[in-house]
Structure 1
Amino acid sequence: MSAFSTDIGIDLGTCNTLIYVRGKGIMANEPSVVAVERGTKRVVAVGDDAKRMLWRTPGDIIAIRPLRDGVIADLETTEKMIRYFISKVIPRRWFVKPRMVIGVPSCITEVERRAVEESAYKAGAREVKVIEESLASAIGANIPIFEPAGHMVCDIGGGTSEISVISLGGMVVSNSIRLGGDEFDESIIKYVRSVHNLIIGEQTAENLKMTIGNATPDSKLEKMEIKGTDAITGLPRRLEIDSVEVREAIQEPITAVIEEIKRTLGQTPPELAADIVERGIVMTGGGSLLKGLDTLIANETGVPAFKAEDPMNCVAMGAGMYFSHLRGANANRSIYNSIK
């Protein structure tokens, strides 16, 4: 491989896009939002600048999220977004195109997978490898995936949650549902409207979840003031909401994630299940940062659960380290074969 070439890992998330450059670390972490000019589709802003425009744009500018439920909903805009992020992390003087590894949910179709590859090639990749988010997050969480033992990873992203059992570098069991942090936010929005007749936006709901949200009862009752539009009068209004209400609001999507974890455990071969009981469930993705979620999962499944060291960045880091891990695994196999 040329000294001028590089490996790039991309976590193409519904909420955020993260880019990891091998040897340099996370070089980009921005919202998966693109602001375009209505009619011409000319890109006005990408990432943080575009997110600030969501629901605040004038009539001639549209701020859109080109990915929904972990897959590409708008191919052209996604390509422009990837190209923008790549241009931020790779100097233009580098004339050798990078190799890209992209983490995607295992539930996407072959057509959706090809759309991801096509976007990456058009954005300037010389080689594209698409791998499951669970596999990428396991590598990013420093799990020894090539050893003959079972490891369970639960990756809760913005649009999808993926639970997988990995052994000998492959997926033994994998289940994925199109539900993640976005659904937590949506549940809060619906709850506040139905219980308090207040209409709030996605950013307010996300702030509530991150600030006072919890998955298990807490001894300390936390409160937070929010602002929105009264559903009856149409006038702006303030409201104080507490952590118990937020927990009640997100109970349904959390239960769905736990049921998927239980289903995956039920499909796991006994020998690997024994390994998982000993090693625990490793949680990655932004959704795993919800306070008390690891405790709730452990209580509901009887299996220890804990957050990875850097859950938000695991998929991007693992994708970026994929080729080097593969080389290491192949080298170990060669040594083993020569001994035999």
Structure 2
Amino acid sequence: MLLCFFFLTMQTVEETELCFPQLLNSSCKRTMQHPYVSLIIHLTISFISVLTVFLNLLVIISICHFKKLQSPTNILLLSLAISDCIVGFLISFQIAQIDDCWYLGDIICVLYVILDYVITTSSIGTMVLISVDRYVAICYPLYYPTKVTAERARVCVSLFWMCSILYNCVLFRDNLQHPGRYNSCSGECLVFLDYFGGVFDLLSSFICPVTVIIILYVRVFIVVVSQARAMKSHVASVSIQGSVRVTAKKSEIKAAIILGIVVVVFLICTLPYFCITLIAENAAVSASNVTVILFYVNSTLNPLMYALFYPWFRKSVKLIFTLQILKPDSRDNIIV
């Protein structure tokens, strides 16, 4: 999965060298690029990596620091921000592969790929939890405060992460036991997944979760539309108490719409990657370069959407930049 394929590399036969010149008979070929092209690729990857880490760290600090922000929904957003932040670090590994050579060793290669899969699985699992959270809040509002708590959200998130790590370690156990076994030459990072393992992973890690997400959000959309019509027809005749209830319903509907946008953007960014993975005939071909770029950029877009839609995020960022969070009582600030 190389971001650098998005750019023209102007490779020629004469511009090909070896990744490890001392290993003449076993080294992979190294792609030589024009200095300006290489500079643009380095700067672009570095910028995306730093921006992704920085923006998601703001989300992590905001939710972890301010007690008023530690609601069940925000805990799920925290899990998503952690996975997106790790994606930012993973993007920086693409710099090491710009010339089609892997210099970090076979063990690091396997761990890197497994971590990539763990983050992907955790992100999709978090999206499922977000969909369930909004489904219960909109369709069963009376049960939401008692059934969906911050503690239960933390437990669910922790279970998803632990299961994701265990699942992918088992899935790639052969690669962990024999790192570099499937490399055709020195300097290659190739992790193999057999056909049945690939199909099972695709079903369990993408098709089934995405199906659940779509079904839940279709149900949420239907209920939101019906509630919006009901509120519109009765808004003129409600009492003060009714107005409070309407405001509460409006806030829940707004939250559902915002998180729905986050889910839709996630699906738009990830669907092309998994669709190409599904139709790829060669097990070594994971996806095209453009779909990989789109897949990674989703981690950068998420905190930007929070800044656009959530006032609490903008307020917390202001407090972070002005160093107000260093005050002893800053954790209790009401910024919602």
Common topology (TM > 0.5): no
Q: TM-score, normalised by structure 2?
A: 0.27
| Greater Rg over alpha carbons, structure | 2
- Structure 1 or 2: larger helix share? 2
With CA pairs under 8 Å and 6+ residues apart, which has the higher RCO, 1 or 2?
A: 2
